[in-house]
Amino acid sequence: MFLDTIHGLIDRRVLLNYRVDPAVLERVLPAPFRPKLYGGHGVGGVCMIRFRQLRPRFVPAWLGLSSENAAHRIAVQWQQDGEHKEGVFIPRRDTSAWFNRTFGGRIFPGLFQRSRFDVRETGAAVSIRIIRSDGGTEIAFAGHVADALPKTSIFPSLEEAAGFFSLGATGYSATRTAGRYHGMELHSLNWSVTPLAIDEARSCFFEDEQRFPPGSIELDCALLMRGIEHEWHSRPDLYLSSSAKGLTTRCACG
């Protein structure tokens, strides 16, 4: 990719998380990605993030771009050139920015859907509604700062949850070519996490009963991060191997 490193500030990041039946989740994922489990559960969710000062290396901060974005994420593992890898698979990305929609997948990784973001936020609460171009609601979330994760969460502590999601810094998503995946890796230069109590949570993707039959998926928890200095690093494209049992950085495009 032309832009292999992007700098900026994550003004606000919300992670809305679901626990999912691993067998059901595996049917949703493209092979050879497999669910990464925690406590016997698959983990999926939505990352809702506001960027500020996003820019290539050596470009001054005042020239950086701001935008609202969302990525549906599924914690995954896979075999890559004989090595075990972990990260997230991203089946859908939304953005408020024409730049991301136009140039995603061309000069930097990721294909984006252009959507409208209705965000209301205070120090203790956040509400995000993502409206697709057809007028339908893709995501509706509202939450407020809490003292701890819900007792029903699969994560026994905030530290365990933060550790699990910090390992999902490398994300891969489908491209316009079958069996080829674009990758990016998030390097957070500072990291602090606050639990959110969920007041409302709706996702067209995770509430689709064709993908996730009733009883196969439940809300787990939500996390809030603010003021994170970060870098995005482009990762080498991955290709389905000739055996279709793993992924490789070596393209056999011919």
pLDDT of residue 1: 45
Cβ proximity of 58 and 7 under 8 Å: no
Q: Is the pLDDT of residue 17 over 90?
A: yes
pLDDT above 70 as % of the chain: 85
Confidence band of 74 (pLDDT split at 50, 70, 90): very high
Judge whether 17 lies within some domain: yes
* CA distances for 136 relative to 103, 201, 208, angstroms: 24, 15, 14
Average pLDDT over residues 31-50: 96
Fill in the DSSP letter of residue 27.
Answer: H
Average pLDDT over residues 12-39: 96
Judge whether 253 lies within some domain: no
Nearest to 202 by CA among 219, 214, 225: 219
pLDDT of residue 108: 58
From 98-107, 109-118, 161-170, the region with the lowest mean pLDDT: 98-107
Judge whether 173 lies within some domain: yes
Confidence band of 221 (pLDDT split at 50, 70, 90): very high
Q: Which two tokens stand for residue 40?
A: 């016997």
Phi, psi of 60 (to 5 degrees): -65, 150
Judge whether 254 lies within some domain: no
Q: Give dist(CA 92, CA 174) in Å, integer.
A: 9
Residue range(s) defining the domain that contains residue 188: 5-248
Judge whether 96 lies within some domain: yes
DSSP E strands: which ranges in the chain? 5-20, 34-35, 37-38, 41-56, 65-80, 83-95, 113-114, 116-121, 125-131, 137-145, 170-174, 180-188, 194-203, 217-240, 247-248
Judge whether 15 lies within some domain: yes
Judge whether 117 lies within some domain: yes
CATH number, domain of 129, equals 2.40.400.10
Among 11-25, 110-124, 180-194, 223-237, name the most confident range: 11-25
pLDDT of residue 130: 96
pLDDT of residue 44: 97
Phi-psi region of 161 (alpha: psi -120 to 50; beta: other; left: phi over 0): alpha
Q: Is the pLDDT of residue 106 over 60?
A: no
C-alpha count within 13 angstroms, C-beta hemisphere, residue 7 = 10
* Number of structural domains in the chain: 1
Q: Which residue has the tokens 């489908």?
A: 174
Angle at 89 between CA 83 and CA 94, to 5 degrees: 150
Q: Is the pLDDT of residue 48 over 80?
A: yes
**pLDDT tens digit sequence for 175-215:** 888 888 988 888 777 778 999 999 999 999 999 999 999 99
